[in-house]
Structure 1
Amino acid sequence: MRWIVLVLLFFGMMINFADKSIIGLAAVPIMEDFKLSYAEWGLVGSAYYWLYPVTGIFGAAWADKVGAKKVLGFLMLTWAVLQFGVIAITALPLLIVYRLLLGAFEGPFSPVAYSHADKWFPPKQRGFANSVVVSGATVGAMIVAPLLVAMITAWGWKYAFAALGLASLVWAVAFKFLTKESPVEAYEKAKKKAAPEKFKLKDLKYILTSRVALFTTLAYFSTYFIVVWLATWLPLYLVEVTGMSNGQMGFAVAAVGIASVVLYMGVSVLSDAVFKKTQDWKISRVYVTGGAMLIGSLSMLSILVFHNPIWVITAMCLAKGLTYAILPIGPTIMINEMPERRGLMTSILTSSGNLAGIVAPILTGFIVNLAATKIFGYNLSIAFMAVLVLIFSALFMIFVRPTEQVQSDESELSEQVGS
């Protein structure tokens, strides 16, 4: 059952990020249809994240109370409705409202998915499990880009969006009938579960004062600048700066996605292996992840020096793959600090990180709009992101010292199934 859950979470994350990234892949026809400037386009990209951090926290707290399965199914159904509703969009204000609502209902998915995967896997496999969930994001955002571009070209951008709505509907039905809420339910050995404890002020105080929570969240936040930039601006960058056609751009985005999946899954597997051997959270989760982020940020900075298109794609692969290491490992670190608040801890991480989603598209849009040349504007945005990751990954490695939980790999799952 755990593998069925993991596979469906992978596909759910794939749909989530396809919803996010298709707006970037359809940037040219949308901007032409509505006569948008770069600044207005940055506003469209930012609108997705205006409610995302808030709903992420409340949605995850709701999942802790009523169960992740119910919440994930409900979220998918709302995505389907919103994506079908794209057909009615006729002006910029409606486009912004659509992106605002889609972000609001997609905000809780990542933290709830991480928490749900964590529930099904023992500690020694959680880095891998979360990396599979995160890889769904890369597949949705980048690897399926040629397919999404083909759909946009053949059907028009509105019907391509509606096709993703259909995918959401299919997923909701599959998740309803093929999965269980937890190993307890799957093995049918538990009595009626006690209601979770109410949130206490001391929990909030811990979150606000913990160096682990603070610097893990800042590292996640810095990486999310790259997440959002790749989804919103990379297609335009490849077309306008490197001179690629739309078809070439689609395959280049897919290549970056494929390579990055291999890289950050490799980092996650390495982190799990080091943890299994040493049982040391600092070495296995912090140093391995932070070191990967440092290398990734330096790779992104190299684009400012070496402009060859082949190297640009190579550097993007390294930057995305290595900086993304925090996405699967970050939730593992946060949950380890407060296991009884899984949903809350992952939502604090992802929602705080997604604040970058509000800033990054608008900031990039204004930089490109105001710069003397497009190339100079794009380079400034790339330099800003790379330096941000460089600084916060270094702080992450210096200040984060996770709590060492004394518990065997299988004991938590054994307790859940009534062993």
Structure 2
Amino acid sequence: MRWFILVLLFFGAVINFADKSIIGLAAVPIMEEFDLSYAEWGLVGSSYYWLYPVTGILGAAWADRLGAKKVLGLVMLTWTVLQFGVLAIAALPLLIIYRILLGAFEGPFSPVAYSHADKWFPAKQKGLANSVIVGGGTVGAMIVAPLLVSLIAIFGWKIAFALLGVASLVWFFLFQFFTKENPVKAYNKVQEKKKKKLEKINVKDFLKLLGSPTALFTTLAYFSTYILVVWFSVWLPIYLVESVQMSSAQMGYGVAIIGVVSVLIYTCVSMLSDYLFKKNQNWRVSRVFVVGGAMITGSVLMASIIFVQNPIWVIIAMCLAKGLTYSILPIGPTIMINEMSERGGLMTSILTSSGNIAGIVAPLLTGYIISLAGGDKVAGYNLSVLFMAILVGAFGLLFAIFVKPSLAKENKEDKKRNLSENRSLKYS
């Protein structure tokens, strides 16, 4: 059951990020149809994230109480309605409203998915499980790019968006009718106890926890990396066409190659982290140093494309940079859940929603930087890349220095989970 659920969460992330990234892949026809400037296109990219952080926290907190199945089912049905609603878009204001609503209802998916996977997998497999979910995001954002580009070319961008709505509907039925909420047989009793605990949260202590070096610098590292996530989603297709001089078809395959290789890289980093944790039970070595080192190395590789403009090196460097810097995405939620395991959904939602604040800033900032360069688009893109590289490298270093997860909490939680898993072994 746990692996089937993980597969569905993977495909849910595929749909989630395909919904995000298809707007970038359709940038050229959309900008031409509505006669948009770069600043207006930056507004479209940013609008997706205006409500995303808030609804991510609210949706995940709701999932802690009512269960992941109900929340994920609701958001998936809403995605379906919104993607079909694209057929009625006829002007920029409607396009922005659509992106705001889509972002609002897609906000809860990632934190709820991480928290749901956390219920089903032991500590020694959490990195792998989360990397599979993150991998679904990369597949949706980049690997399926050639398919999405083909759909846009054949049917037009509106029909392509509507087909993603069909995928959401299929996922909804599979998840609702073929999965369970919790691996523990006595789920109802466990859930009642959890509800009582949720009502007794101490706000002062909770805020103090969020301000601790571990929570703060994990969130900032996630935030910095998410600026890169948004850039890859909104600006990479245009960058490869306008700066690297690729055709639309070459751009699609280039995006897919970057996606495939990066998934392999950050999955390997997560597996290395899990392996080291299994061997030494040391959070600093297995989680923090591995991820911090990967982020710093990835930022250097990202900056290198400013100095080496060869298209082949650009693709290679982006593959490595994306794979290494993205390692915080699967490991970050594990660290946050460890700090307050009974509020797993809420903790991951704060992490992902705080990171997604970058989604509000990044598209507008990139569009502004490109505009500052005047007619020299290459210089504008290079400045945006340098900014991201410095930001990710700096916060990767701070993450490595200041994040010190509580080993005692993890050991105590592992014992509880092992007892729970032994009781529910046949069921699972």
Relative to the length of structure 1, the TM-score reads 0.97
Matched, 1:384 2:387: yes
- 2:68 is matched with which residue? 68
Matches within 5 A, 1:118-133: 118-133=118-133
Q: Does 1:375 align with 2:373?
A: no
Q: Secondary structure, in 3 states, of the residue corresponding to 1:369?
A: helix
1:99 aligns with 2:99: yes
The corresponding residue for 2:138 is 138
**Where does residue 367 of structure 2 map in the other structure?**
365
CA gap of 1:192–1:115, structure 2 versus 1, over 3 A, is: closer
Residue 414 of structure 1 and its aligned partner are, at CA, apart by: 2.8
Aligned residue identity for 2:198: E
Match of 2:411 in 1: 406
Q: How does 1:22-171 map to 2 (within 5 A)?
A: 22-171=22-171
How far did residue 366 of structure 1 move?
1.2
Q: Which residue of 2 aligns with 1:355?
A: 357
Which digits, 9 at most, give the CA deviation of each residue in 1:320-373, with x for residues without a partner?
100000000000000011111101110010000000000000011111122131
* 1:272 counterpart letter in structure 2: D
Q: Deviations over 1:126-171 (max 9, x none)?
A: 0000000000000000000000000000000000000000000000
| Alpha-carbon distance in 1 for matches of 2:125, 2:415 | 10
- 8 Å CA contact 1:225–1:385 kept in 2: the answer is yes
Q: Secondary structure at the match of 1:401?
A: coil
Amino acid at match of 1:341: R
- Would you say 1:197 and 2:195 are equivalent positions? no
Distance 1:377 1:364 in 2: 8
Specify the alignment match of 1:263 in structure 2: 265
Partner AA of 1:122 in structure 2: P
Q: Which runs of 5+ in 1 are unaligned?
A: none
Deviation of 1:197 (Å): 2.0
AA paired with 1:133?
A: I
- Using a 3 Å threshold, how does the CA distance of structure 1 residues 26 and 54 change in structure 2: closer, same or farther? same
Question: How far 1:406 moved relative to its partner?
Answer: 2.1
In 2, Cα distance between equivalents of 1:408 and 1:111? 20
Looking at structure 2, the residues matched to 241 and 156 of structure 1 have their Cα atoms a distance apart, in angstroms, of 25
CA RMSD of aligned residues (A): 1.3
Q: In structure 1, how many angstroms separate the alpha carbons of the residues matched to 2:258 and 2:415?
A: 36
Any conservation in 2 of the 1:17–1:141 contact (CA below 8 Å)?
yes
Partner of 2:334: 332
Q: Displacement of 1:203 after TM fit?
A: 4.1
Q: Is the 1:300–1:382 Cα contact (8 Å) retained in structure 2? A: yes
Comparing 401-410 with 167-176, greater Cα deviation is found at: 401-410
State the one-letter code of the partner of 2:231: W
Structure 2, gaps ≥5 residues long: none
Determine if contact 1:183/1:413 at 8 Å carries over to the other structure.
Answer: no
CA contact (8 A) 1:122 1:410 kept: no
What is the CA-CA distance between 1:205 and the residue it aligns to?
2.0
Distance 1:21 1:207 in 2: 34
Name the structure 2 match of 1:6. 6
**C-alpha distance in structure 1 between counterparts of 2:246 and 2:93, whole Å:** 31
Is 2:395 the counterpart of 1:397? no
Where do 1:231-270 residues align within 5 Å?
Answer: 231-270=233-272
Partners of 1:89 and 1:29 lie apart in 2 by 14
Q: Would the alpha carbon gap of residues 190 and 105 (structure 1) be closer, same or farther in structure 2, given more than 3 Å must change?
A: closer
What is the aligned residue count? 417
Return the alpha-carbon distance in structure 1 between the equivalents of residues 380 and 22 of structure 2.
23
SS in 2 for 1:36: coil
User: 2:320 corresponds to which residue?
Assistant: 318
| Bigger shift: residues 312-321 or 195-204 | 195-204
* Aligned residues of 1:370 and 1:377 also touching (Cα < 8 A): yes
Note the C-alpha offset of 1:204. Answer: 2.8
Question: 1:45, 1:232 within 8 Å by CA — same for their partners in 2?
Answer: yes
Instruction: Name the CA shift for 1:331/1:167 in 2 (closer, same or farther; >3 Å).
Output: same
Give the direction of change, closer, same or farther, for the CA distance of 1:39–1:190 in structure 2 (3 Å limit): closer
Q: Give the letter for the 1:91 counterpart.
A: A
Output the TM-score relative to the length of structure 2. 0.95
| Secondary structure in structure 2 of the residue aligned to 1:330 | helix
How many Å separate the matches in 2 of 1:316 and 1:75? 32
Query: 1:189 and 1:168 mapped to 2: Cα distance?
Result: 27
Letter in 1 for 2:220: L
Question: Take 2:120 and 2:415, find their aligned partners in 1: how far apart are those partners?
Answer: 11
Instruction: Provide the secondary structure at the position in 2 that maps to 1:354.
Output: helix
- Matched with 2:222 is 220
Provide the residue aligned with 1:415 in structure 2.
420
Which stretch of the first structure deviates more once superposed, 152-161 or 403-412? 403-412
